[in-house]
Structure 1
Amino acid sequence: MKKLRKLPDAEFEIMKVVWANQPPITTSIIMEQLGKAKEWRAQTIITLLSRLVERDFIRTEKNGKERTYFPLVGKEEYLKFETGDFIQRFHENSFTSLVATLYDGDKLKDKDLDELMKWVKEKRE
């Protein structure tokens, strides 16, 4: 498998549908769950799926007239990659900087900090 790279927003939307469903998934399922809401045509979804195959995020099999798709990268694995990349690029690998930014921007409440402290204590034990 290739090294993970950041997905464009449209491909990430496709992957969220792939991860939310039991494999294999079909173009029809993706169209039903995402295409109508995004007003994407079937060809757009097929193009995005092809890109995800090229990037080794999914694999495909042909079953009769229909293609099925299987995830090669798990949701947790990708989110871990994205979060690590974000913290590195914007916070110079400082978790404290990230938390301070969220707290100062009123995105993180005292209750969230309490939960975070509890989590840290549990991890250290």
Structure 2
Amino acid sequence: MTNVDIVAKITDAEWEIMRVVWAQKETTSKEVTNILNSKTEWKTTTVKTLLSRLVDKKMLGTKPLGNKFIYFPIVEERQSIDALSEDILTKICSRKVGTFVETILSESLLSFEDIEKIEKLLQEKRKTAVEKVPCNCTPGQCQCHLQKEL
């Protein structure tokens, strides 16, 4: 199973846990509960269940420390973000990717550094841009097949 497959199966609640573990590098269930306490009303048992699921999904590893476990990420945050992005892109018509990127950019707060990186990437993408992006859908999954080719 690839990381894309694993990441695609992570629930929203598990993403919340992973974000804490990525930020902390190593953590306990109690620390996760305390950190998420202001955002969720999860009990320690809920956090432990979610941590256990993430261990089963090979997203987290554990090591014993006395009578508790230390959790650490096996899958990197960047790798997970890339996999999530790839998963989303496989679910939409390739002709709508530009609109999707536009939505992300318009709804996101970006730093000057972020904008510089995006501008540089767009300049590189311009070199391989096409007049019209081909549809990657099965006929009937989108309306591209209804548009007459010119």
Q: TM-score range by the shorter chain?
A: 0.7 to 0.9
Partner Cα separation in structure 2 for residue 93 and residue 30 of structure 1? 40
- CA offsets, 1:51-104, max 9 Å, x none? 00000000111111111011000100000000011011023386434235x29x
Partner Cα separation in structure 2 for residue 16 and residue 54 of structure 1? 17
Alignment pair present for 1:85 and 2:87:
yes
Q: Alignment length, in residue pairs?
A: 115
- CA offsets, 1:14-59, max 9 Å, x none? 00000111x3211111011013530000000000000000000001
Give matches, 1:1-125, under 5 Å. Answer: 2-4=1-3, 5=6, 6=8, 7-21=10-24, 23-92=25-94, 95-99=97-101, 102=103, 107=107, 116-121=118-123
Higher relative contact order (CA 8 A, sep 6+): 2
* Alpha-carbon distance change, 107 to 31 in structure 1, aligned in 2, over 3 angstroms: closer
TM-score, normalised to structure 2, is: 0.65
Query: Between Structure 1 and Structure 2, which shows a larger proportion of helix residues?
Result: 1
Structure 2 unaligned regions, length at least 5 = 109-114, 128-150
Identity %: 30
Secondary structure of the residue aligned to 1:68 is: strand
TM-score, normalised to structure 1, is: 0.77
Partner Cα separation in structure 2 for residue 93 and residue 69 of structure 1? 41
Secondary structure of the residue aligned to 1:89 is: coil
Is the Cα–Cα contact under 8 Å of residues 91 and 97 in structure 1 kept in the other structure? no
Partner Cα separation in structure 2 for residue 43 and residue 36 of structure 1? 17
Is the Cα–Cα contact under 8 Å of residues 27 and 45 in structure 1 kept in the other structure? yes
